[in-house]
A and B are shown apart, each in its own frame.
Chain A
């Protein structure tokens, strides 16, 4: 990330590549398409950024390696800790490093829904903070037991953090812990209004770059569902009404909203992550509205 930021300058533009069942070919195609459309990087996951399935870490790393190798696109791999021991996490991370996947987004992950798994026990051997500490240790040349490695890694450690208008004291403390544990940058949960980002930016206080995730809404029903499920103030009523008025053209209206939002969020962040890479034209339109200062 630091290298991409240094080379490209803020604001960066990225997009999540989320193929079905870890489909390498479609991931590589999507990465190449968004790169051509103006994206600086892609982030890989096996489902949307809203939810990480239990298989996400392994496949996300593989997809990130594929995007880098075949499409030549810098890639961030999503790594989650749900139902993984530190032992296997370390093996996966060192394997990722060996394949050149060094930019990561750490998260806790979520258990799969009940219909996808016989039982849910919500096991976390470590959380995102533990994962960041593990990565920082590897970067400093020590393994999970504090034993010296012959060669240090050079991971760029990103962390996924929820952006909501009101953060509790515990939320603020947890964000600070992630940063002090060694996070190099932050990728937010989907943001639907700049107001939702203010509290997080206050806590971060410029300590690390922040990339805001923008999710193009597809229908008024989706917007309404999110308005009900997310904390107050996350989903402006204005978006719901605009999508409703758009009727059959709600998806296009959702993309217009995403472009407007990206333009405004870019003023206070170091970049935008689009939640979907399946519409390269949206990437182009967002790229067009993101001002990038001339470097040098």
Chain B
């Protein structure tokens, strides 16, 4: 065959590959099928990878082209350069090539898979280009295949968004509306796959940034973490927070599980999104779909208290809020500061000036229901020392713990200091 006929045949082959890829876009194909066509027809290694170079799709087993080991070898040959290429492909939103090192080495082409404004993944091909026509063909096939991947993923995303929106509206109906007929609520619950008569708890994970900027990426991450670790839960992403409804009859066990999960999410958010804070609130356990709204309201209240009382535990349980439920109703922290100052100002000043721990001693004393022995054990000191400090605090601040009103005021002030970290 003459050279120009060779080349013409090559061009017809490329057209055929692109046509086959286009046809995949019109059917309910998955990424593996697309990668397989690229690998088999273009005779290259091919895979879809994410930002961290984790492989999301390889060509089908038995195709004879790509194996996990083979591709890993290609990607691992110069991971830094490949990472640079992937990052640049995301930034530029265009296909890039990494030249072969030496005549016998493989070269890489990376094409971003763009869905909306996001580079959701990357199609990577690696191979030996026999000549410049092969090189052109590979760039073109890789770009085209990435576009087909984007069509497939885009279609899935549209479906997921529509389903998610409907799901969120139903969930909002359950969570936010308290005066619906029980029959309606039960129907909505069934639509969401929730058994109407089951016992459940609600966890709300709210995310906020110091600047007030949107934290969508962090919310998405938390939603993903919870959904993958707690498959029985109904998880809804409500932009600024993630609401989780978890069924279960073991109240204490469920509380422990959700608290641990919220702490894990909080740790991940802190590590990946500096400046973003996760505040988790846990509602009480309730039975029946009609009570979902109650559990959500409690979890929401717990979040509000946690947002205000920054020194409370990182996961705030509604059941353990105590007087903080009322204190959180005071929206002006200055009011709380003023109250603390009025009751405990002298003791706080004395602690600061002299390095004493009278406030901490008073807290331990009250938490142990006025027992000098138990407070002393908690503070690792002698009961006489506790008695002395309590007496000194009374003298310094001018209150009388024998008085019901003084004792109540001091306890409330200490709760404020404990929750708010009052800097009075």
Interface of A with B (CB < 8 Å)? 21-24, 54-55, 57-59, 61-62, 65-66, 83-85, 87-88, 90-92, 94-100, 118-119, 121, 143, 149-151
Contact = CB atoms under 8 A, between A and B. Distances in A.
Q: Which of A65, A94, A119 has the most CB of B within 10 A?
A: A94
B102 A21 contact: yes
Given A83-B132, A99-B84, A149-B93, 9 more contacts: A22-B100, A24-B101, A59-B99, A91-B97, A92-B97, A98-B88, A119-B3, A121-B3, A151-B92
21 contacts: A21-B102, A22-B101, A23-B102, A58-B97, A58-B100, A65-B81, A84-B132, A87-B139, A87-B140, A88-B139, A90-B94, A94-B89, A94-B97, A95-B96, A95-B97, A98-B85, A99-B81, A99-B98, A118-B3, A119-B3, A150-B91
A15 to B, nearest CB: 21
A149 B98 contact: no
Interface in B178-225: none
A91 B94 contact: yes
A151 B90 CA distance: 10
Given A21-B103, A94-B88, A88 B3 contact: no
A140 to B, nearest CB: 14
* Chain A interface main SS type: helix
B85 A95 contact: yes
Contact of A88 (B84, B92, B93, B97): B97
A92 B99 contact: yes
B136 A87 contact: yes
Contacts of A150: 91-93
- The range of chain B's interface size is 20 to 34
A91 B109 contact: yes
Contacts of A21: 102-103
B107 interface: yes
Given A91-B96, A94-B96, A98-B96, A54 B81 contact: no
Contacts of A59: 99-103
Interface string B88-131: 11011111111111110001010000000000000000000001
B20 interface: no
A94 B92 contact: yes
Nearest to A117: B131
A98 B85 CA distance: 6
Nearest to B85: A98
B87 interface: yes
Nearest to A96: B99
Contacts of B84: 98-100
B35 to A, nearest CB: 19
B304 interface: no
A62 B100 contact: yes
B135 interface: yes
A17 to B, nearest CB: 14
Nearest to A148: B93
Contacts of A61: 99
Contacts of A55: 103
A58 B107 contact: yes
Nearest to B93: A150
A84 B99 contact: no
Contacts of A23: 102
A97 B85 CA distance: 9
Interface in B61-96: 81, 84-85, 87-89, 91-96
Contacts of A88: 97, 132, 135-136, 139
Given A59-B102, A65-B81, A98-B87, A143 B94 contact: yes
Contacts of B101: 22, 24, 59, 62, 66
Contacts of A92: 97, 99
Contacts of B95: 91, 94
Contacts of A57: 99
Contacts of A143: 94
A91 B3 contact: no
Contacts of B98: 95, 98-99
Contacts of A24: 101-102
Contacts of B97: 58, 88, 91-92, 94-95
Kindly name the residue among A23, A62, A90 whose own CB sees the greatest number of chain B CB atoms within 10 A. A62
A161 to B, nearest CB: 24
A94 B136 CA distance: 15
Interface string B404-424: 000000000000000000000
Contacts of B143: 87
Nearest to B86: A98
- Across the A-B interface, the 6 shortest Cβ-Cβ residue pairs: A98-B88, A58-B99, A95-B96, A91-B97, A62-B99, A119-B3
Contacts of B96: 91, 94-95, 98
Contacts of A98: 84-85, 87-89, 96, 98
A106 B85 CA distance: 22
A83 B136 CA distance: 10
B5 to A, nearest CB: 11
A154 to B, nearest CB: 13
Nearest to A54: B132
A31 B85 CA distance: 24
Nearest to B88: A98
Nearest to B105: A22
Contact of B136 (A84, A95, A96, A119): A84
A50 to B, nearest CB: 20
Nearest to A151: B91
Interface in B142-168: 143
A220 B212 CA distance: 76
Q: Which of B99, B101, B102, B131 has the most CB of A within 10 A?
A: B99
A22 B106 CA distance: 13
Nearest to B104: A21
A149 B93 CA distance: 7
A172 to B, nearest CB: 31
Nearest to A141: B92
A58 B131 CA distance: 12
Nearest to A144: B94
B7 to A, nearest CB: 9
B150 to A, nearest CB: 16
Contacts of A85: 136
Given A83-B132, A87-B136, A88-B135, A95 B99 contact: yes
B132 A22 contact: no
Contacts of A149: 92-94
Contact of A22 (B91, B93, B94, B102): B102
